[in-house]
A = this chain, B = another copy of it.
Amino acid sequence: MKKLIKPKAIIFDVFGTVVDWRTSITLQCQESSEFRKLNIDCALFADKWRGKYRPFMYKVGSGKLPWTNLDDLHRMALDELLDEFKIWNLTELEKQNLNRAWHSLKPWPDSIPGLCRLKRNFITGTLSNGNVSLLVNMAKHAGLPWDCIFSAEMCKAYKPDQKVYQMAISLLDEKPQNILMVAAHHSDLLAAHAAGLATAYIPRPLEYGIQNNHVDNQDVSFVDIMVDDICALADTLDS
């Protein structure tokens, strides 16, 4: 810890930082593919689906697409992906259900106990590119005890656009330095830092699977806190 951080509110990136999207999507894909007797590499399917997230978001950011929420971007990506995997026999309902897998991603083992501890002393919320209904459904499903849900959808811009961080500052009605942004990703933390927020980095080396041990080589020396998980964050802020 570089300096004493005493936030009023702690806001979290969700995909990768709080929930393990890869394992959850892989399992959901396996369920669908067993039912349909497809022979596909479901972990690869999950990675390729997630891989389309950024390019699709950039289409919104650059104006090539009008505002489109994450559910709808996931669906556009899924349609491309099914084509690439030559899966042409899913019904519309099956596609909708597969797309809803993003609403019930599993938290990392430390997420619920860590968030429950943090909630006692701080306002805890999301600051995610996920749409509101996705984040609310995920919280209900997994038991994530958020005090508030802030979503890119509420300002129709995706992180790392400054609009998203400015929205959180404005709605929380706090000085930026009293808000701690927690994320596993460099670009998110850098943008939060630029907005004046305090930052906590939780590397999630397993985000892309155990074989793809993920080391972010980018400079994160600007962050205020770097910890292994959300329970360790609660330890740090308790002390």
Contact = CB atoms under 8 A, between A and B. Distances in A.
Contacts of A151: 171
Contacts of A174: 133
Interface SS majority for chain A: helix
A219 interface: no
A140 interface: yes
B71 A133 contact: no
Contacts of A127: none
Contact of A147 (B140, B153, B154, B171): B140
B136 A148 contact: yes
A149 interface: yes
Contact of A123 (B140, B147, B153): B140
B154 A71 contact: no
A142 interface: no
A10 interface: no
Given A123-B140, A140-B123, A171 B153 contact: yes
A133 B174 CA distance: 9
B132 A172 contact: yes
A151 B132 CA distance: 13
A116 to B, nearest CB: 13
B71 A136 contact: no
Given A131-B171, A139-B147, 18 more contacts: A71-B173, A123-B136, A123-B137, A123-B140, A125-B136, A131-B173, A132-B172, A132-B173, A133-B171, A133-B173, A133-B174, A136-B172, A147-B149, A148-B148, A149-B149, A153-B171, A154-B154, A154-B171
